[in-house]
Chain A
Amino acid sequence: MENVIEVLNLTKKYKDLIAVDNLSFNVKKGEILGLLGPNGSGKTTTINCLLSLLNYDQGLIKIFGQEMKPTSYDIKAKIGVIFQEVAVFEELTVYENIDYFCGLYIKDKETRKKYVQDALDLVGIKEFSKFYPKQLSGGLLRRLNIACGIAHKPKLIFLDEPTVAVDPQSRSNILEGIKKLRDEGATIVYTTHYMEEVEILCDQIIILDNGKIIAEGTSDKLKELTDIEEKITVEIAKINPNLIKEIKQFTNVLEVKENTNMLTITYKKGKNNLEELIDYLKKNKINYNKIFSERPTLNDVFLELTGKELRD
């Protein structure tokens, strides 16, 4: 499949600080690429370089097969961007804001009218079209921000942390909208520090730390990088210190953590860990309320690769 984005040896420095360090990656047509990393890892800087907003010290950026420059209007016409900050005019209504930004791409009035309606539908803010931004909640404002960036139906969309500080309903609405955009054939670059979003949405993931790629691949492939096979959490009314000691003796157990009346047991490779634990609890007549098993998360991968949490 053809590459929509090609980045080769991209380096961006702020004086002595290397914000993006020799980054190389490609994004294929129709793919959702997740750029995952903690704050300050270089996600937004990378996007700003790709959009030709920022100067960079080294590297080559090609979008739709052509080198990206500030005057690449043909390329820009196919791109939609949702910035981390809400970028709307306070003096314009929801409808006017979308119409204004859409109008920078689409000349025909009738087409634009339809596109604005589609964008309102996609993010679910049709009933607020006559509202002014200051009358909207944080979540609705984020949805408006997205509508302004995608109303012109771009082929390539950059979403820079679009769900920061939004309520669960808006977040789910936004994620649904992004899935729809992918289904309509858009290629998407999605930056976030929420690993669950990346796992749900992205075909390919790049994990960044200090401007460097520390891992890349699909979600499953990245999880193979960790020694952890699964995590089992069990709720026990009274946790006996001996119980923890004995569980630690199980064959595949890496670590046991106690948090009030919850025990989290981390297993390295191995099968039937849950069965083994349930058998033990029954045999020792230990009552438990809840018990569940989880696969390792991208946070575990990040933790293992960098020694720190994604949200640090």
Chain B
Amino acid sequence: MFYHNFKYSLKTLFKSKDLLFWTFIFPLILGTFFKLAFSNIEKSETFDVINIAIVDSSNYQDNKIYQEVFETLSDKNNENQVFNLKVTDLKQANSLLEEKEIIGYLEFLDDDIKITVKENGIDETILRYVVSEIQSRQALIETLVKEEIKQDSFSIDYEKIYSKIDALMNEEVTLQDISKNNLSYTMIEYYTLIAMAALYGGIIALTIMNAKLPNMQAVGKRTAVAPIKKGELIVSSLLASYLIQLMGLVILFIYTILVLKVDYGTHFILVIVLALVGSLAGLTTGVGVATLLKTNENAKIGILIALTMLECFLSGMMGITMKYIIDKNIPLLNLINPANMITDGLYSLYYYDTFNRFYFNIFSLLIYSLVIIGLSVIKLRRQKYDKL
């Protein structure tokens, strides 16, 4: 039964022209469009060092970590120089910002660091990321020391603390990828394209699920009265959908690499892993919309498309600033947003040398998929309908 349904689900999906277009053709068209639209921009685009200022104060002078990081990132002899730093007073900093001499400045308050920017763009985002990264490292070190002291207050192992701090400090989070060679708008667009193609799995899953639900389609009624367990029917159908989805991604990768000459860089395998897991999350979103919502077929398709677009928008696909705004103000929303998990995972490969954030996103996507599938199975088990 499993193979029988799997085989026919594949056949049905392969013969659905609409689905084939959106899964196989549309991402290629969009990829070609990106190539045509952005390649010229890319050629003329070079990464300029970002002009920033820091308001001089005793708080800043006491904060050796920030001083060291910003000095390193602003070192003209450093081939990965990111910032051009001016340490000045508040009045001068404001004046520089007004005259657009700098994109923003930092003020070291007693218990916080205030970032003042005039606009929201990629440069401002980089500044925020740097500050956020230093803050999280600093917090980690503080926790480490506190824990060590708490464990044995009589004999603090200073060497152990130093070695851990040393390890943390030497762990490279130097944002080396945001260099002239790698900061590519086109690359971000291709990552976006992969995320979008992965999330399109939802539409395939929704289509195949509707054909299994008696309250959606007449064929669903027919399968519901057959002596086949719903789990078997749904898993075999979804496996076929996943396979189609993966074929779409393979074609997209082959096309972008061989025809559009896209260089996915050193983390290509991880990009593929994220695309595979992202597709699974897209697929389960479709299953969730199909099973958990009580509305008609067309409304479900509309809801799924709107949901995917909203998720993409909130995750920064149409402008990275939105991602930052959500991260800062409603972080929970991005934690449960599969589109954000995909884009954040791709950006983490782009911005960081460590993979912690990448793996965090991979596991988040897997947990998200499991939760949605679990809820759907509970909803569908032994289900009878009030109305057909």
Contacts and interface: CB of A to CB of B under 8 A. Distances in A.
A117 interface: no
Interface residues of B, number: 31
B383 to A, nearest CB: 7
A53 B221 contact: yes
Interface stretch (A71-79, A235-243, A254-262): A71-79
A115 to B, nearest CB: 14
B385 interface: yes
Contacts of A51: 225
A83 B384 contact: no
B214 A53 contact: yes
Contacts of A88: 219
Interface stretch (B3-11, B22-30, B158-166): B3-11
Given A73-B227, A76-B227, A96-B8, A54 B385 contact: yes
A292 interface: no
B11 A54 contact: no
B384 A53 contact: yes
Interface in B215-232: 217-219, 221-229
A83 B214 CA distance: 11
A52 B227 CA distance: 12
Contacts of B12: 89, 91-92
Interface string A55-89: 10000000000000111011011010101011111
Contacts of A103: 1, 4-5, 8
A48 B388 contact: yes
Interface string A34-63: 000000000000001001111100000000
A149 interface: yes
A76 B384 contact: no
Interface in B191-228: 211, 214, 217-219, 221-228
A83 B227 contact: no
B16 interface: yes
A53 B385 contact: yes
A52 B4 CA distance: 24
B15 to A, nearest CB: 4
B386 interface: yes
B230 to A, nearest CB: 9
A254 B12 CA distance: 61
Contact of A91 (B11, B221, B226, B386): B11
A105 interface: yes
A149 B218 CA distance: 12
Contact of A77 (B11, B214, B227, B388): B227
A96 B9 CA distance: 12
A87 B219 contact: yes
Contacts of B382: 69-71
Contact of B223 (A14, A74, A79, A104): A104
Contacts of B222: 81, 83, 87, 101, 148-149
Contact of A52 (B1, B14, B384, B387): B384
B227 A87 contact: no
A252 B102 CA distance: 109
A41 to B, nearest CB: 16
Interface in A99-151: 100-101, 103-105, 107, 148-149
Nearest to A149: B222
B126 to A, nearest CB: 49
Contacts of A54: 384-388
A76 B218 contact: no
B377 to A, nearest CB: 14
A101 B220 CA distance: 11
A96 B227 contact: no
B225 A81 contact: yes
Contacts of B14: 91
Given A53-B224, A105-B227, 15 more contacts: A51-B225, A54-B385, A70-B383, A73-B228, A74-B227, A81-B221, A87-B221, A89-B12, A89-B219, A91-B13, A91-B14, A101-B222, A103-B4, A104-B227, A107-B4
Interface of A: 14, 48, 51-55, 69-71, 73-74, 76-77, 79, 81, 83, 85-89, 91-92, 96, 100-101, 103-105, 107, 148-149
5 contacts: A83-B222, A89-B211, A91-B13, A101-B226, A104-B223
